[in-house]
């Protein structure tokens, strides 16, 4: 990605909680990335269909969720990304979203991938925790079979034993061999899936370390889930960053990328 910015950012809360919280987070991210000259896409899910527990908060659903995402897009003039879980949601999502995301657990679902690709919208593939980096080529080929759009690939760690993830930074270069931009999801990479029994745990204190390492390893973009108060977030709080952490972290990431280009 050639611009004054050394990388791009995908960021926002894990899930849409309510209009006020969503707009405040989006506005703060927009203000921050504008000040640093970093291209920014706002992320929030209207439905988290892969929650651990039946009692977990999933979001407002597609109708209300897309309406709110459209409002964020219009009021703040930022591109929007969210994930789809069902083929029946794809057309409605494509009317609002600038980038459609394939969730990690669904990254091998051929019919869903083809439906998303056929919209002609940019696609972000979240690499499944169960895939090796070289396996991603098969997903890319599915998209290229019906679309000329070059997808993004997002690394978010690999399962390592029970309730734990690790990151192999060799994967960034391996996946870039597909010709696709590679994004690093620093916050989901410190998630502990199902680690809290009826919800996932996380180790947010390590997310900045992994983000810096990924940019040093050549990642094209960074994905960060953030919240005003992660301890009170309704989804993925343990692995989400505080909004207040971002100015220092993004400044560091920009400096690392600039050092690589020097």
Structure confidence at residue 3 as a pLDDT band (50, 70, 90):
very low
Q: Find out whether 213 and 206 touch, Cβ atoms under 8 Å.
A: no
Structure confidence at residue 1 as a pLDDT band (50, 70, 90):
very low
- Model pLDDT, residue 124: 98
Instruction: Give strand ranges (E) for 80-169.
Output: 80-83, 99-102, 123-126, 152-155, 158-159, 165-166
Domain boundaries, the chain: 8-261
pLDDT above 90 for 126: yes
Question: Considering Cα of 66, then 67, then 70, then 72, what sign does the dihedral take?
Answer: negative
* Helix residue ranges per DSSP H, 97-182: 110-118, 136-144, 170-176
What CATH architecture applies to the domain 8-261? Alpha-Beta Barrel (3.20)
pLDDT above 60 for 230: yes
* Dihedral angle of Cα 134, 136, 140, 145, to the nearest 10 degrees: 80
Per-residue pLDDT, averaged over 47-71, amounts to 88
Q: Find out whether 194 and 174 touch, Cβ atoms under 8 Å.
A: no
Q: Find out whether 117 and 142 touch, Cβ atoms under 8 Å.
A: yes
- Model pLDDT, residue 55: 80
Cβ within 8 Å of residue 202, ≥6 positions away: 187, 190, 191, 192, 195, 236, 237, 238, 239, 240
- Model pLDDT, residue 195: 62
Give the side-chain half-sphere CA count within 13 A for 205. Answer: 0
pTM greater than the 0.85 cutoff:
yes
Burial of residue 154 (number of CB atoms within 10 Å: 0-12, 13-18, 19+) = buried
Least confident segment among 17-26, 46-55, 190-199: 190-199
- What is the pLDDT of the chain when averaged over all its residues? 93
Tokens representing 142 are 């599915």
3-state secondary structure of 203: coil
In tens, the pLDDT along 148-200 reads: 999 999 999 999 989 899 999 999 999 999 999 999 999 999 988 776 666 67
pLDDT above 50 for 2: no
């Amino acid at each position: 990605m050639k611009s004054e910015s050394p990388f791009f950012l995908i960021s926002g809360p894990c899930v849409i909680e309510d209009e006020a919280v969503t707009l405040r987070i989006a506005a703060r991210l927009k203000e921050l990335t504008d000040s640093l000259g970093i291209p920014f896409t706002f992320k929030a899910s209207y439905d988290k269909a892969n929650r651990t527990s039946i009692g977990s908060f999933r979001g407002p659903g597609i109708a209300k969720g897309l309406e709110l995402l459209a409002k964020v897009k219009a009021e703040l003039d930022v591109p929007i990304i969210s994930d789809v879980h069902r083929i029946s949601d794809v057309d409605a999502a494509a009317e609002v979203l600038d980038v459609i995301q394939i969730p990690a657990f669904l990254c091998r679902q051929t019919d869903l991938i083809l439906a998303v690709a056929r919209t002609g919208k940019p696609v972000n593939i979240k690499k499944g925790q169960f895939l090796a980096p070289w396996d991603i080529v098969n997903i890319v080929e599915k998209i290229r079979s019906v679309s000329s759009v070059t997808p993004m690939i997002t690394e978010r760690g690999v399962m390592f034993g029970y309730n734990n993830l690790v990151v192999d930074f060799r994967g960034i270069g391996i996946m870039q061999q597909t010709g696709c931009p590679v994004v690093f999801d620093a916050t989901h990479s410190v998630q502990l899936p199902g680690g809290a029994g009826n919800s996932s745990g996380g180790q947010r204190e390590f997310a900045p370390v992994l983000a810096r390492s990924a940019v040093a390893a050549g990642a094209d973009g960074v994905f960060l889930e953030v919240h005003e108060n992660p301890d009170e977030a309704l989804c993925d709080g343990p692995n989400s960053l505080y909004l207040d952490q971002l100015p220092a972290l993004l400044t560091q990431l920009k400096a690392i990328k600039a050092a690589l280009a020097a």
